[in-house]
Chain A
């Protein structure tokens, strides 16, 4: 076969085949990635929690457990660690009650447009603190200034009190306005925040512990 002076680059069938290959491959890949993601983001079950099965997104009943956040040297960032039982608003919530409460919290977070100022799981604004791991913020724990200012004894009661009367409490240079959140909605929101802090976000937001250390040594904001 003689090697004639032909240009493949000006050949229409060449571009047509290349385009077909790239488009076809990308289509199959996107479908595969969709199913791959479903497995990653599917919520765990109450049985998973009881059996200690790690899920990226635990069941709603995770609100009945103590949630810790620890550095994993293996993964190179912090991961949520679900510990022993912990009462939430003074009781243990059944799977149905927990799911309903979380649902109310999610709807309230959407209705009150939290993301207009805050960031949740990487979505939203940075006008106000990142809420992804807000439940773990030491300022809300026992002895922390945010819990102290509300006069409550638990993280959930302190957060619920603050959410109902945010404009009464000096928190941030940009104080949160009163959004008319009811007592039930506040409970739902706190459940929503507690559940969110138990989601394995591959270490997002970064350097949480570093900012916590800064906060403990006199900084003003744990995020």
Chain B
């Protein structure tokens, strides 16, 4: 898929190794999963304040 995920070539298999094979790096992955839940925090706070 757009070359984002490439075959695993490292010696030892690991979850973070898989993320580091292509352009989808650890940095992009971590930013994604840290920041996405913050949208949920934002909207739930907004809902609470609106009440």
Contacts and interface: CB of A to CB of B under 8 A. Distances in A.
Do A and B actually bind?
yes
Interface of A: 1-4, 6, 8, 11, 13-14, 17-18, 21-22, 25-26, 29, 33, 36, 39-40, 54-56, 74-76, 200, 202
Interface of B: 9-12, 14-16, 30, 33-34, 37-38, 41-42, 45-51
Nearest to B9: A75
Nearest to B13: A39
B18 to A, nearest CB: 11
Contacts of B16: 33, 36
A6 B50 contact: yes
A25 B38 CA distance: 12
A39 B34 CA distance: 25
B21 to A, nearest CB: 10
B14 A200 contact: no
A152 B44 CA distance: 75
A40 B41 contact: no
Contacts of B14: 36, 39-40
9 contacts: A1-B51, A2-B50, A17-B45, A25-B34, A36-B16, A54-B11, A55-B12, A75-B10, A76-B9
A11 B45 contact: yes
Given A25-B34, A29-B30, A36-B16, A56 B41 contact: no
A26 B47 CA distance: 27
Given A17-B41, A39-B14, A40-B14, A11 B49 contact: yes
Given A33-B16, A36-B15, A39-B14, A8 B49 contact: yes
Contact of A14 (B9, B33, B42, B51): B42
Interface core residue of B16, B45, B46, B51 (most chain A CB under 10 Å): B45
Contacts of B15: 36
B33 to A, nearest CB: 8
Contact of B50 (A1, A13, A18, A74): A1
A17 B9 CA distance: 39
Contacts of A11: 45, 49
A152 B47 CA distance: 80
A30 to B, nearest CB: 11
Contact of B11 (A8, A17, A29, A56): A56
A200 B11 contact: yes
Query: Max chain A CB contacts within 10 Å: which of B11, B38, B46, B48?
Result: B11
B7 to A, nearest CB: 8
A107 to B, nearest CB: 28
